[in-house]
Amino acid sequence: MGKPVIGISTYLEPSVRWGVWDLPAAVLPSGYHRLVQRAGGLAVLLPPDDPAQAAAAVAATDGLVISGGPDVEPVRYGAERHPRTGPAYPERDVWELALIEAALASGTPLLGICRGMQLLNVALGGTLTQHLPETVGHDGHAERPGVFGHHEIKPVPGTRLGAILPESMSVPTFHHQAIERFGRGLIATAHAEDGTTEAVEPAEGGGFVLAVQWHPEAGEDLRLMEALVEAARPA
């Protein structure tokens, strides 16, 4: 039996440098595909495309990861832009929202990471806090530009996440936005010490749908990705 194919969404950047080149490129930090590989999956990258092709892209995979990245454009959840919200990446927003909708419709196992959690919430009608330090009163979720910090999260017992990660733990973190109003059917399944929602999943059971605000690809814990890979394993 072959390894489950895990699709991972990518960035689309106007300028990326390598060697003598400086060109537009679809890129992804290597931690993502390496985490999938270490967890027993076959990683394939899904760069932004025509959203009409999202269902076909999801059908070609056994599981889906929506990766981290830039802020979601506030228009996606009916909000005015905050001064601290980053530049818009509309092509990526539209593509990843279409991937999420296709995965939910098909029952394809889905894991959202950081931005991926925020997009899952938006796809289901939720909203985002655009600059978290104004809400929690500190910069502990993104202390230094370009450097992952760490903080404690506490999973909620009796949830899918709580079964995968039953203990409080320190996680790699880098974000300045978070869930404000929950999308349809989503519940919080982990919190930071300051109350920030750190994981969500559907309140009702069904297939594997889980999203976390932290960055497992920047750590050594394989359990989340192993759970996705196992859920994606063909019967």
Q: How many folded domains does the chain comprise?
A: 1
pLDDT tens profile 43-96: 999 999 999 999 999 999 999 999 999 999 999 999 999 999 999 999 999 999
Tell me the H-state helices in 25-159. Answer: 30-38, 54-59, 90-106, 115-123, 133-136
CATH of residue 65:
3.40.50.880
Residue 234: the pLDDT is 84
pLDDT tens profile 97-141: 999 999 999 999 999 999 999 999 999 999 999 999 999 999 889
Domain that holds residue 115: 5-232
Q: Is the pTM above the cut of 0.85?
A: yes
- Which residues are the active-site residues? 114, 215, 217
pLDDT tens profile 20-43: 999 999 999 999 999 999 999 999
Residue 102 to residue 95: CA distance in whole angstroms: 11
β-strands 169-173, 5-9: how paired? unpaired
Residue 22 to residue 19: CA distance in whole angstroms: 8
Reading phi first (left if > 0) and then psi (alpha if -120 to 50, else beta), residue 206 is in left
